[in-house]
Every structure is written in structure tokens, then in C-alpha cells.
Structure 1
Amino acid sequence: MSSYKKLIYFTLLLILLVYSVQILNIARFPSQIDIIKGDSRNLNIFFPFSLEIMEESSDIVKINSTNAERLSVGLKNSYNLESTNNGIAKLKLKFLGIFSIRDIQVNVVNQAYVIPGGETIGVKLNTKGVLVVATSEIQSIDGKIYNPARNAGIKVGDSITMINGIKIKDADHVIQLLNNIKNNKVKIEIERNNASFTTEVLPVKSKQDNSYRLGIWVRDKTAGIGTLTFYEPNTKKFGALGHAITDVDTGTLMKAENGEIMRAKVSSIEQGKKGSPGELRGMFFETDDVLGKIENNTTFGIYGTIYDENKLFKQKQLLPVGFQSEVKLGKAYILANIEGDKVTEYEVEILKLEKQNVPQSKSMVIKITDERLKEKTGGIVQGMSGSPIIQNGKIVGAVTHVFVNDPTKGYGIYIEWMLKEAGIYVNNNSEFAEGK
């Protein structure tokens, strides 16, 4: 093959590579963009794609584009979205300036404010129904071995929500219902991977205790400590942890039926070391100092409503919320509670940022740089999840996970993802965007 042909093939391959990456970026392009009124957002798009604003949206967002008329292979067009008024603007992503391939909604919103947390809280969570953590064989009174749950398709990680149409309260309720029904088939309603289905099971009378059983081990509650991330006074909503509460045995997200957060005090610290993340140990009493109710346990934290804001937030001030586009590499600080009930600022460095068009938990990588914190905890430890991340006077995220092999480093989540989970920023929330 001649050098000329090789050059042509190489050039074509390079062009294909460039545009395959661009097509992938276009496929991941967000369907919604939030901009604070008065701010702007830069979007870079390669030819042959372009961005166009709908005429009726021109009084909400204006587009200033660079090199928009020079269409050449590989040319990057930079679009600057300037927000002028509250409301929802509609943009179109086009191919060759003719074919519309994606509608984009731009929500221009007022600056949002929340009260940052940092306090250690006690968390008590009751599951929806009961969570199956293991299945087992049963020796029946006839001497034979049975495994009714497994034979009926019940698996570890399933949530049993109803038996014969009766809503399950807790593990004791399951035993009570089975012994009332005895050796008749029962209808079991199960939730698995956000889907529900029903199966039939014939309980077996156990030789061990003469009780009717399904051959399952279940869990109906959990408790522990974590860190409060924010409180929004207008809605009375709070967010905490920045990650899900999962079952210790199965790793399954525990679906919340109800639960509460309580005031807690840090009693001791197990320092984090390479290979061992460390832990905050705290004390709280379930009947005292209840702060609020847990309504949702999600991949991005726990959320609910505060009962009385004066119990925790009377002396605290609001901070503006920083969107993903405002977060920068470099110096920031976290609010954490590692002694008693005192919240302290600790310096960190944001080392890496991920561009995320949809909510994800690992939004940024942070490193603890504050010698005080490193001396006391070794870095990020269990119980600090949810510690708010502050940069340039705005709350921009929360600590979520620690690097097991380097406890001075960990992941953080963008605060906007937590606010959306709390229902404060909701997709297609026109009333919020219009400031109503």
C-alpha cells in the first residue's frame, strides 16, 4: 500500500474516531439544564451538530455562538447560554442545521439556598415489609427436609410486602400470619428490583419448634449513625448520607417504610488506615431528640422532613447552592462532626470532577488536606458520609465514600443530585423554574 493511501486511510480513521466520540457525547447530552438567573453556561458542540433556540424562548435564554457560521470538519462551535428571565426555555439540537435530533429544556431558576449540615445524626430505618437476607432448609414434623421459599422462587434481597393481602409490619408479624394460616398455601407479594410479583408458598411445620415457616431469614429494621447534609427551610426537607442505606448481609438497598433521624454524639473514633476505612462511633437514644422522619432511602442518600428546625438550625445561616458547572478543582472545605456534637470546618482539595448529565454518586474525588482531621481520623471514616462540601461560599456537594487503600481520599456527590432526590429540584418542574 502506498504512503498516500495509508495517509488517506489514517485520516478517515481519525475523522471517524473524532465523530464517533462526538456522536456518543450527543447521545449523552442532557435533556434538561438548570441555570441560575443571571448566570450563563457554555456548551461545546462539533460540526455537523448545532444548537438552535425556539423563538418563544428568546426572552428567557439568549445564545451567543462563536464560529457558528464556519462549518468545517472538526470545527467546535461554542455556545454561551445567557439566562435573562425565570422560566423554561426550549432548545433544539440539530444535525446539519436541518434535522432535529434532541429537544433540550433549560430551566432558569432563582438562586436556591439551604442550611448546610455537618451534624452527626442517629438513623433508625424500618423497612417496607421484611427483607429476605437468607433462605434455609426446614426439617418438617414428618422428618423430611423442605425449602418452600426457594422452591417458590423467593430470593435473597427480595422484600416481602404482603401475605394473603395483609400488609406486613415486621418479622414477628410474618410468623403470626403463617401460624394462623397453618398448612394452607399462602400468596406472597414480593418486590424485587423495583418490580412486584406474587408467588404461592406452602408453609412447613418445623420439627424444631412446631411453628409454620417458609425457610427464610428476614430483617425489618436497621440503625446507625451518619451525617446530615442540608436542610431547606421552605419545604422543611433534609438530605443526609449521600448514599443508600444497604443491608449489611446482602448489600441490597433497604426500602424505607418509615424511620427517624435523631440527635447524636460522637463517642469515639477508629482511625482510618490503608485497607481499613475507620469509623465514627456515636450514641443516640431512639426516644429522645427526634429531629425528623425519613421518607425515602435512595441510591443518593436518605431524605425526609424535619419536625422542628429550632432544635438544630436556629443559629445557622443559609448558603447558596452551587451547580455542577460552578464546581472547580482546588481548595474547598467540608463540615464534619468528629467530637461530641460540635461541627467544624476542615480543608480539602477537589482533585477530579466528573461531567454528569444524570444523577450519579461518584461526582468528584476529594482529598483531606487538613492536618487536624488527618491526625484525629486518618482521613474520611464511616459516619462522615453526608458531610457537606463547601467551595467559594456555596454548598456544592457531599462526601459519600472513602478510598479503602487511601483514607485521605474519597468520593463526593454533586449537591444538585441530592436536591433533586429531595424533591427540591425536580425534572420538568415548571412552577419552580418560573419562581411561583
Structure 2
Amino acid sequence: MWHTHESKMHSYKKRRRLKEIHFQPQICACEILGTNSDAQNTCAGIEKIMHKKDRIRARGERMRSKKIYRRVLILLLIFNIIGMVLFIYFKIIKKVPDEIKILVGKEESFDFNMPIKANIVTEDIGVISVNDLKVPDNQISIDMKKPFTLGSTKTGKYNINLKLFGLFNFKNISLDVIENIELIPCGIPIGIYVETDGILVLGSGRITGEDGLNYEPINNKLKSGDYILEINGVKVKDKEDVIEEIQNSNGDDIKLLVRRNKEKITVRVTPVKATDGKYKIGAWIRDDTQGIGTLTFTSTKGDFGALGHGITDIDTGLLMDISEGSVYDADIMSIIRGKEGEPGELIGMIRQSKKYKIGRIDQNTLQGIFGTIDNNYNWLLKQEPLDIGLKQEVQKGPAKILCTIQDKVEEFDIQIESIDISNSNHSKGIVIRITDERLLDMTGGIVQGMSGSP
């Protein structure tokens, strides 16, 4: 009985130890089962199963790693393709202008070196020539990867459709064929005076009322860059008109007709009686501006262009809407030399009288101011004119500018360093560097007031 009991106990312990092997596979089975033949076979089988599971697990991990690797490669490829397309897109945008001008009867050369096919659509057969060859077709194809020339025997506007790689519609540009224009380069200093078309709102401020509280009547009603045209149906021409209409309200709501981004809107504002007893709406306003610039050119037809950039408000930085303006003769009194961080300035005196009025300003644009020369200054139209140069004809290298520094117009040496024939910046088509030592000694470079020097 004892032996039987002992044998059963031994079998029970053996089974228990086998269960431990199942739950603890990291322990060597041979150490638990002993060294007899059955134990060794069991041990070998268990280890074989364990190795097989390890191989399956390792294979699964390798497959997962390969999947992740492939996905990463695919994502990188997609990003590279997107990056390449965007690079080509922005390069073309920068290099290809929205508009090309050519002179009637003259061949103009172009070399864009871009993977683009251009189709010029025209109903005038034989009017457009490519590479000096007449193309009798209503749709002319050009490979912009190679240099080419364009010409036309007739003025007018034509549409050019661009296809990237010859497949994808990319953009349309305008081909403008114009008559030759002769201009007279000037470079003389001028005084500029303009009146705004409406009363320009610069910003808002707080008002301390008679009750000691602070008010902002135009907050969330008027914005910087708005133009006040009327108050209670009365047209306002200057700041004094605005002040008068506000006082006439006696604190009642006033109705403002405002131009905002070319759109007219109506705004209601309640004036506040301030500590000085006057009614106010808390608006900083401007109705005119003036400054010194340079006359760029006149034409034989009596027109002029000046400044080289638009007249913007000094506080808002916005191009000003003008109702009228004039340019006057001006004298340069002194020069503040430019230095790093400070642009410098020409200090002048504007001869603001009818006798010294050079002309009337008709347009204020991003490219400059344009207008008509008065009869008093017809002598500006009698100098030797030059043919205009189109932007595709400008080349890097040495050049000259005309400007007045010491009571007379002089030529100074410059270097054209880069050219942008696109329309990305309407007032900055080239980058120049002053190389004339005499001009550098006097001004330190280009200073305020020289804007518009031809």
C-alpha cells in the first residue's frame, strides 16, 4: 500500500511538473523531466514547438517591418512627387508673366526654358509670327523649352494657353501687341500733393466722456482703410466737414456712408460728448498727404509718370484713393545719408503755387503716379525722346540712372543684379546696386525721394 501510494504521488508530481512546463516554457524541460528516454523525447518535442513558434513570431515581425518600410517608402515617394510638382509650379509662376507685351511690326525674343507648350489663339490668320515664320492657323503652338521669337503685324490682345509638359492646362497669359511709344527720361525732383477721395480712417481711439467713462463709438463699426463719403446725407470733402457734421448731431446717432474695399456700406455711430464739451466719434482721419519724389518720364503726348510706386498712407500702408492731386517743382535742400537700418532721405521744399505746378495727377497705381503736364512746363516735352524698352529686353549688368542731387540732373552708375518679369510684384521688377562712388559718398545709396529715378 505504501509503495502504491508513493507511486501515485510520484505520478501526480510528474503531471504537475508537466503543467508547469506548459505555463513556464522558458525553463528547460530536460531539467524538470529527468534524463530517461521518454523525458528526452518529450523535451525535444516541446523545444521543437517552442522554436517553431519563435520562427513564426519572427517571420510575422519581419513581415510587419516590411509593410511599415514599404508604406514609408510610398509616403516619401508621394511627398517627393508633390514637392517636385510644387517646385515646378512656383518656378513657372515666378518666371512666366501674366502678360507679355510686344511692339507691332517688331520681333521679340524669349527664352523661358520651361517644360511648357503654349497655344496662341487668334482668328486673324497670318497676323502672328513665331520664329519669324507666318503661321496660317487659328491656333499656334510654341515649345517654351526652346528660345523663340514672337511678332505681329497688327495691334491687339491675344490669349495664350499654357500646358505643363504639354498635357495639363496650367494658366492663361495675355499677349498685348502695342504701338511703339517714345518717352523722355527726366530724373528731376517734384513735390507731390494729393487729396483723398473721401476721408480716410486711420484707426480708432478712446474718448473720455463728461461722465468720466471711456467710450469707443466706432469700435467694430469702422476699420482702418475705410473712406467716409457722407454724414447724414451730406458729402464731406475734408476733416473740417466731418467735425462740423458730428457737432451738428448734438449726440444723436449719425449715419455714415462708407467705402470699404470698393463697396459702399452704411454705418450708424453715436457721438460722445467729451470732457472739452465737443462731440466726438473717436476716429483718427486724414484727407490729404504730400511728399518729395522724382519725375520719371514725360511723353511727347503731354503725359507723365513719376515715383515708381503708389502713394500709400504712412499709417495704414494702404494705397490711397485720391480725388485729385498735383505735382509741383521742388528744390533739394539737404540729404540725410542712408545707413544700415535707416534708408536716408532727400529733404526738399515744395513750391506749391500755380506758377510752379508741373501737372495734374490722374492715377495713383502700384506702379506709380500718372497724369498730364501743364502748359507752364511744356519745355519738359521738347527734349529728345527715346523708344521704350520692354521688360523682356532688360538684361543683368551695368546701367545708369538719372537723378538730381546737386541742382542738376546727372547720370550715375548702377548694376542690375536680378530681373523679375513676372507680375508677382507690380512695383519691383529689378534689383539694382549703386556702384557710382560719387553717389555713394553723397547719399550712401538709394534714399527716400529718389523713387522714380529713370
| 1:117 Cα offset (Å) | 1.9
Query: Does 2:195 match 1:126?
Result: yes
How many angstroms apart in 2 are the aligned matches of 1:382 and 1:44? 35
8 Å contact kept, 1:159–1:191: yes
| 1:200 Cα offset (Å) | 0.3
Q: Which has the higher helix share?
A: 2
| 1:319 Cα offset (Å) | 1.4
State the one-letter code of the partner of 1:290: K
Residues 145-202 of structure 1 show CA distances to partners (whole Å, capped at 9, x for unaligned) of 322122x522333322221222211111111111223222111122334443221001
8 Å contact kept, 1:239–1:303: yes
Deviates more, 1:318-327 or 1:122-131: 122-131
8 Å contact kept, 1:265–1:339: no
Q: What corresponds to 2:396 in structure 1?
A: 329
Q: What corresponds to 2:184 in structure 1?
A: 115
Change (3 A) 1:247 1:23: closer
Q: What corresponds to 1:168 in structure 2?
A: 236
Query: Does 2:425 match 1:356?
Result: no
| 1:330 Cα offset (Å) | 0.5
Change (3 A) 1:22 1:122: same
- TM (norm. structure 1) is 0.75
State the one-letter code of the partner of 1:83: G
Query: Does 2:293 match 1:232?
Result: no
- Mind listing any 5+ residue stretches in structure 1 that lack a counterpart? 66-74, 389-436
| 1:336 Cα offset (Å) | 0.3
State the one-letter code of the partner of 1:383: G
Change (3 A) 1:15 1:185: closer
> In structure 2, the residue corresponding to 1:177 is in which secondary structure?
helix
8 Å contact kept, 2:130–2:151: no
Which of 398, 404, 409 matches 1:343? 409
Change (3 A) 1:130 1:9: closer
| 1:344 Cα offset (Å) | 0.9
How many angstroms apart in 2 are the aligned matches of 1:373 and 1:97? 49
Residues 192-233 of structure 1 show CA distances to partners (whole Å, capped at 9, x for unaligned) of 34443221001122231x222111222212222110111223
> In structure 2, the residue corresponding to 1:173 is in which secondary structure?
helix
Query: Does 2:288 match 1:217?
Result: no
State the one-letter code of the partner of 2:443: T
How many angstroms apart in 2 are the aligned matches of 1:172 and 1:136? 19
Equivalent residues in 2 for 1:75-90, closer than 5 Å? 77-78=145-146, 80-88=148-156, 89-90=158-159
Q: How many residues align?
A: 371
How many angstroms apart in 2 are the aligned matches of 1:213 and 1:124? 28
State the one-letter code of the partner of 1:325: Q
Change (3 A) 1:108 1:203: same
How many angstroms apart in 2 are the aligned matches of 1:54 and 1:139? 65
- TM (norm. structure 2) is 0.73
Q: What corresponds to 1:274 in structure 2?
A: 340
Change (3 A) 1:185 1:200: same
Equivalent residues in 2 for 1:190-269, closer than 5 Å? 190-208=258-276, 210-234=277-301, 236-269=302-335
| 1:313 Cα offset (Å) | 0.5
Return the index of the structure with the highest Cα Rg: 2
How many angstroms apart in 2 are the aligned matches of 1:250 and 1:229? 26
RMSD over aligned CA atoms reads 3.1
Q: What corresponds to 1:298 in structure 2?
A: 365
Query: Does 2:215 match 1:146?
Result: yes
Equivalent residues in 2 for 1:40-55, closer than 5 Å? 40-42=108-110, 44=112, 49-54=116-121
State the one-letter code of the partner of 2:414: V
> What is the percent sequence identity of the aligned residues?
37
